[in-house]
Amino acid sequence: MANENLQVSVSNGTRDGVRVLTAKGPLTIHTVFNFQEAVRNDPAPTMIVDLTGVPYVDSAGLGAMVAAHVGAQRAMHKFAFVGMNAQVKTLTEMTHVSQLFKSYPTVRDAEAALA
């Protein structure tokens, strides 16, 4: 697993001020730094993190998700996750952090809700 990579790309959403961070690969202790750097380096007022391409999240990845959410709240930015698979949803529900997150099925749904 240590050799697996997380690819992170950032693009503009369909509305001004909306950025979409798309992650592909596992979000784990071995890959979390790329995710953290991408989130920290983008000061957009609205950030949507697309996890559709993330098959697995471990506790370090979950911690990075929480930190990203908290950082956005502190900056008074809008923040949401989209495309969580069953494993990620279960992890967030078991740890009760799902109550913190805004989560939507698609980027389009998130953009509409955060407008």
State mean pLDDT over 14-35.
95
Q: Cα–chain-centroid distance for residue 114?
A: 15
Q: Is the pTM of this model over 0.85?
A: yes
CB 52 within 8 A of CB 81: no
Domains in the chain (CATH in brackets) are: 7-108 (3.30.750.24)
8, 40, 90 from 71: Cα distances, Å: 18, 8, 23
pLDDT at residue 109 in the model? 96
Q: Which helix (H) or strand (E) holds 12?
A: strand 7-12
Q: What pLDDT digit, counting tens, does each position of 43-52 carry?
A: 899 999 999 9
In this predicted structure, what is the pLDDT of residue 3?
A: 53
